[in-house]
Structure formats: structure tokens, C-alpha cells
Amino acid sequence: MWNIRGRRLSLLIDEETIRKRVRELAKQIEKDFLGSPEEPVVVGLLKGSFVFVADLIREIGMPVVVDFLWVSSYGQSMESSGKIRIVKDLDTDVEGRWVLLVDDILDTGLTLKEIHSFLISKKPAVLKTCVLLEKKGRKKVDFTPDYLGFEVPNKFLVGYGLDWGELGRNLKGVYAVEEG
Ligand code: 5GP
Ligand code: MG
């Protein structure tokens, strides 16, 4: 079994369960975005969502544009600062487009709510949000994703793109970092 910085990891969601759920989400998204006059724009948040985005877009059976936004993250810490800094903006002009914002995990909701407003200022015709994981009972702001993969317990999670100080992203499942 893996350990990161001497901490053990325990499996929370295995690869097959993720694969099935990602396929379901993609099929729902596909239906909901059929009305988009141009190709929908999928916007992934770096770095955490890159694995999810890669799997999700390949289950969406229509042409999509893929772009990434990079905002400042936790660094080595485990708590959200709530402060957002745009590191890399979109390359695509999303004005008038149907946009799907994709993130790895919703904790307090501070990050996604900020980014949602940031994208709204770019005047997309439609903006929907897809999040793989949401921590139960942690929300500090009123923000509900349109598509959610799994509700998860309030533990620090790694794997499937999620990191702890840049490690753990290449795990195939989602794992909880064990205490002590
Ligand atoms: P929020 O602003 O909702 O509190 O935090 C959202 C961001 O914090 C996520 O996009 C993710 O980057 C990071 N985050 C929150 N919880 C976890 C977690 O359990 N593990 C990891 N690796 N990142 C997390
Ligand atoms: Mg993130």
C-alpha cells in the first residue's frame, strides 16, 4: 500500500466505481448540452481536475472544446484559504458559449463560487458545474453543483488527480489520508 510522508492511505472509492459514475455523469451532460449551438466548452480547474476531465470528456459523445483555468491552491496545507488568484486564464473566448466548469472536490465551496463568478463575468450563454466529490456538511457558501459524482466524508483525500503537496495525483482510486 502507498503511504505519503509516512501517512497511510485508505481506499474510499475504487477505480471501477469512479469509471461507472463518470460515464453516468457524461451521459447526463451530453443530454443537457445537446441544445448548444456551438461546441460546448469544458473548463477544467488545474491541477486537481485533470484526471477527471480526461476521463469525462472521453465519455461525452459529441465534439467539445477543452480548456483549463489555473487558480492558486492550498499548496502544502490542508485548509482552504478562500482566496483565489488566477494563475492561468482561459485561452478560449467563452462569451455566448455553453460552458461546463469541472472541478475535483467541493469542500467549503469558496473556491468554486469565486471561479463561478469569474466565469460569469465572461458572459457564457450557459454555465454549469460538474464536481467529482463533495464533502458532506462542510459548505460555507451557497453553491450547488449541477452534476456531482460522490458525496464524501470530511477527510483529506488524495488520488484521481487530487494531491497532498503534489503527491498522490496518480493513484487510480480516491483515498483518505489517515490520521497520525
Ligand atoms: P473549498 O474552497 O471548496 O474549500 O476547496 C476547494 C479546493 O480545495 C478543491 O478544488 C481542492 O483543490 C482543495 N481541496 C479541498 N478538499 C480537499 C481534499 O480533501 N483533498 C485535496 N487534495 N484537495 C482538497
Ligand atoms: Mg482544486
pLDDT (tens digit per residue) in 124-177:
999 999 999 999 888 888 899 999 999 999 999 999 999 999 999 999 999 999
Q: Is 103 in the pocket of ligand 1 (CB under 6 A)?
A: yes
User: Does the N-terminal peptide bond of residue 136 adopt cis geometry, omega within 30 degrees of 0?
Assistant: no
Exposed/middle/buried for residue 137 (C-beta within 10 Å: 0-12, 13-18, 19+): exposed
Q: Is 110 in the pocket of ligand 1 (CB under 6 A)?
A: yes
Confidence grade of residue 179 (pLDDT, cut at 50, 70, 90): confident
Q: Is 134 in the pocket of ligand 1 (CB under 6 A)?
A: no
Residue 80 has what pLDDT? 62
Q: Residue 53: which residues within 8 A CB-CB, separation 6 or more?
A: 42, 44, 66, 68, 102
Residue 1 has what pLDDT? 72
Structural class in CATH, domain 16-152 = alpha beta
Instruction: Quote the ligand 2 centre to 52 CA distance (angstroms).
Output: 12
Measured from the alpha carbon of residue 162, the closest ligand is 1
Q: Is 105 in the pocket of ligand 1 (CB under 6 A)?
A: yes
Residue with cell 460552458: 99
Mean pLDDT computed over 103-110: 94
Active site residues: 107
Mean pLDDT computed over 54-79: 84
Instruction: Quote the ligand 1 centre to 164 CA distance (angstroms).
Output: 10
Measured from the alpha carbon of residue 74, the closest ligand is 1
Domain extent listing, the chain: 16-152
Mean pLDDT computed over 8-26: 98
